Amino acid sequence: MPETKMMSSNTSTGVPFLDHCGIERLHRKDGVCRGAVDIVPERTNPTGAAHGGLLMTLLDSVLAGACMSTLPETKMVATIDMQVAFLTPGRGRLEAEGRLLRGTKALMFAEGEVRNSDGDIVARASGQFWILDRDRVKAKAREKAAMKTSARLEDSSNP
Q: Phi then psi for 6, rounded to 5 degrees?
A: -80, 155
Window from 50-64, 70-84, 137-151 with minimum mean pLDDT? 137-151
Window from 1-15, 64-78, 86-100, 143-157 with minimum mean pLDDT? 1-15
- Decide: 84 and 125 in contact? Cβ < 8 Å: yes
CA–CA separation, 32 and 45 (whole Å): 29
CA–CA separation, 139 and 145 (whole Å): 10
Q: List pLDDT tens digits, range 71-121.
A: 999 999 999 999 999 999 999 999 999 999 999 999 999 999 999 999 999
Work out the average pLDDT over 25-34: 98
Share of the chain above pLDDT 70, in %: 91
Window from 7-11, 68-72, 115-119, 130-134 with minimum mean pLDDT? 7-11
- Decide: 123 and 59 in contact? Cβ < 8 Å: yes
Tell me the pLDDT of the chain averaged across its residues: 91
pTM score, two decimals?
Answer: 0.85
CATH architecture of 9-134: Roll (3.10)
- Residue 152: count of CB within 10 angstroms of its CB: 10
